[in-house]
Amino acid sequence: MNKNGLFGVVFLATLLVSVFVFLLLIFSIFKYIDWYHFLKILFSKEILFALKLSLLTSSVASISAMLFALPVSYALSRFSFPGKDIIDTIFDVPIILSPIAIGAILIIFLNNTSIGAFIENKLLRFTFEIPGIILAQFIVVSALAIRLLKSTFDSVDVRYEKVIRTLGATRFQTLLHVTIPMAKHGIFAAFVITWARAMGEFGATVTLAGATTMKTETLPVAIFLSFARADVQQAMIVILILLLLSVMVLLVVRRVTKELVAW
């Protein structure tokens, strides 16, 4: 066997082993599911509540994060200003910081500072409430949205923007009619990934909003509560729901990416 043949065998063997391990982990879920009671558990009030709450909070949080991230990421991509590297680094902190730590920081801010106490007591209560879920998800996924959108704007050739600027267009018109249309596939992919990350958020959510059944119970929290009461059946079904949602998200992102490359 020549060197090139051995090279290919090593990498393909690694690929096959990796796929086998992942499939083994995924199919192990089915071993613990009692399919006779599957639909009964799936359509129980608790699971339906957790699913609806997860869809609601992750959608609100991801849309808010995208609206916040669009101008921020565009500014980081197109403008030069003092302290840009520091600001860019600050927006990466929620990505590398533990979600539990983020939740703890939010609790401290809302309950131990004058501004946080005013928000909590006079405007909107977040601690152990549904708005707290949205806030925790927003803080966690907004940094991811900024990073994804910045990469998307970086990939748009600035020469197209310069051409339309020479024709008298303002920066806002250029953004609206050139940059965003050229980056639309990347923006959509960023939204889908951000939404999926919000859907799976647990650490910051459970720290700030708590884990109360039928109140602040998202799908990840439902898994936690199911294991806490030794209900493995329900935990596996919720995991299966999240797994199916993840696969759907990955398929959508892959499709959008292919269209972007073809475009």
Per-residue model confidence (pLDDT) at position 73: 94
Share above pLDDT 90 across residues of the chain, in percent, rounded to a whole number: 38
Burial level of 158, CB count in 10 A (0-12/13-18/19+)?
middle
For the chain, which residues make up each domain, given as ranges? 1-31, 36-262
Q: Decide: 237 and 38 in contact? Cβ < 8 Å.
A: yes
Residue 56: C-alpha distances to residues 25, 43, 46, 107, 218 (Å): 29, 18, 15, 22, 10
Q: What is the pLDDT of residues 213-239, one digit of tens each?
A: 899 999 999 999 998 888 888 888 888
In the predicted model, what is the mean pLDDT of residues 83-103? 89
Cα separation, 56 vs 85, in Å, equals: 35
The architecture (CATH level 2) of 36-262 comes to Orthogonal Bundle (1.10)
* pLDDT confidence band for 259 (50 / 70 / 90): low
Q: What is the pLDDT of residues 172-184, one digit of tens each?
A: 888 888 899 888 8
Per-residue model confidence (pLDDT) at position 26: 82
Helices 45-78 & 130-154, crossing angle to 10 degrees?
A: 40
Per-residue model confidence (pLDDT) at position 263: 53
Residue 44: phi, psi to the nearest 5? -70, 160
